[in-house]
């Protein structure tokens, strides 16, 4: 345990947190034995739905993303190919990592649309929602403009960032990616764009091979990408140091209008796909740091999206820590 401690209190909710989930996300089937399985969401919902704070979440029904928003990130030919490949019954799309079934593309379109509905509620709703968590699959941050990769079909968080800019005329969007794998697709979507600041903390060298510290953006976007590669076996002390010395100061300089989180939980010490050593409670610590910044710069506006996390026991516990901080139920000292 690093220098921080945790004090969990059931206290009056000071903010309203939106939550998106639907059984439609179980329909994506990447094949037997695949780590990105439907059981991930089943276990999460079985666990968190029994918690006393679960009913404080503002439930939002997802909707499919309009194609216009998907094509702000993805090439139209790729979208067509993804739809045709899934409907054909092919076992995978582009890479053997991206197992698919006949329902996978339709499910991915709803996964891309769910956070857009959440953004609508935060920015134009009358229910006092300031932040939210989208429990969706398939994940998105590896998906490139014209290629599926790393369990991902469409880049959900990149689509959301462009939606916020195009539909609501927001300019400065921050994306923090704490998944243990670097979000190559997200970085490539915005590496020439100074209005979207992409920050990633991830195991390195590791899949997908991108995310070196010298990758800082290109052209006009030079300086709007911050990669924080971490060696295997890094733990809470190392992560906290990077947050305090690099990530938090960078966000202060950028002053975002909206914060998005690619919330992968696979840097947990028990995750089978990586070699990092974060404890469950540290996800609450990272969430609280983002809430503090969101309160300072963007009226508390945060949307986080599920990415990775493959230990079926640890994953629901990590998400509980994340949600308790978003709702204001848990305070850290």
Report whether 270 contacts 312 (CB < 8 A). Answer: no
Predicted confidence at residue 14, as pLDDT, reads 52
Q: How confident is the model at residue 51 (pLDDT cuts 50, 70, 90)?
A: very high
Asked if pLDDT for residue 70 goes beyond 70, the answer is yes
Give me the sheet containing 225-230, strands edge to edge.
Answer: 58-60, 16-20, 129-134, 302-306, 258-263, 173-177, 196-203, 225-230
C-alpha dist (Å) from residue 20 to 58, 83, 137, 215, 306: 9, 24, 11, 33, 11
Collapsing DSSP to helix, strand or coil, 192 comes out as coil
pTM of the model: 0.95
Q: Which domains does the chain have, with CATH numbers?
A: 16-327 (3.40.800.20)
What residues are annotated to the active site? 142
Residue closest to 35 by CA, chosen among 318, 305, 312, 283: 312
Predicted confidence at residue 237, as pLDDT, reads 98
Distance CA(303)–CA(1), nearest Å, equals: 27
Q: How confident is the model at residue 330 (pLDDT cuts 50, 70, 90)?
A: low
CB atoms within 10 A of CB 63: 15
Report whether 290 contacts 332 (CB < 8 A). Answer: no
């Amino acid at each position: 345990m690093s220098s921080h401690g945790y004090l969990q209190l059931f206290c009056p909710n000071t903010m309203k947190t939106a939550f998106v989930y639907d059984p439609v996300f179980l329909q994506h089937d990447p094949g037997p034995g695949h780590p990105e399985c439907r059981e991930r969401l089943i276990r999460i919902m079985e666990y968190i739905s029994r918690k006393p704070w679960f009913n404080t979440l503002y439930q939002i029904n997802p909707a499919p993303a309009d194609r216009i928003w998907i094509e702000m990130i993805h090439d139209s030919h790729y979208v067509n190919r993804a739809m045709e490949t899934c409907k054909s019954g092919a076992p995978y799309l582009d890479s053997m990592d991206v197992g698919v079934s006949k329902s996978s593309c339709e499910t991915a379109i709803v996964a891309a649309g769910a956070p857009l509905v959440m953004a609508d509620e935060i920015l134009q709703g009358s229910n006092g929602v300031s932040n939210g968590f989208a429990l969706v699959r398939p994940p998105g941050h590896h998906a490139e403009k014209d290629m599926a990769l790393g369990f991902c079909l469409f880049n959900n968080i990149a689509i959301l960032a462009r939606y916020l800019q195009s539909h609501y005329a927001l300019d400065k969007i921050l994306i923090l990616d704490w998944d243990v794998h670097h979000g190559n697709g997200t970085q490539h979507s915005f590496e020439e764009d100074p209005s979207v600041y992409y920050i990633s903390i991830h195991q390195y060298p590791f899949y997908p091979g991108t995310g070196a510290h010298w990758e800082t953006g290109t052209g006009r976007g030079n300086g709007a990408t911050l990669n924080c590669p971490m060696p295997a076996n890094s733990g809470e002390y190392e992560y906290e140091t990077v947050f305090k010395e690099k990530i938090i100061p960078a966000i202060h300089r950028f002053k975002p209008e909206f914060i998005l989180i690619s919330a992968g939980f696979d840097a947990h010490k028990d995750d089978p796909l990586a070699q990092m050593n974060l404890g469950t409670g540290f996800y609450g610590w990272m969430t609280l740091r983002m809430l503090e910044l969101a309160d300072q710069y963007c009226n508390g506006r945060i949307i986080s999206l599920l990415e990775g996390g493959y230990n079926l026991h640890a994953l629901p516990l990590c998400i509980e820590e994340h949600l308790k901080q978003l709702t204001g139920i848990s305070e850290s000292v």
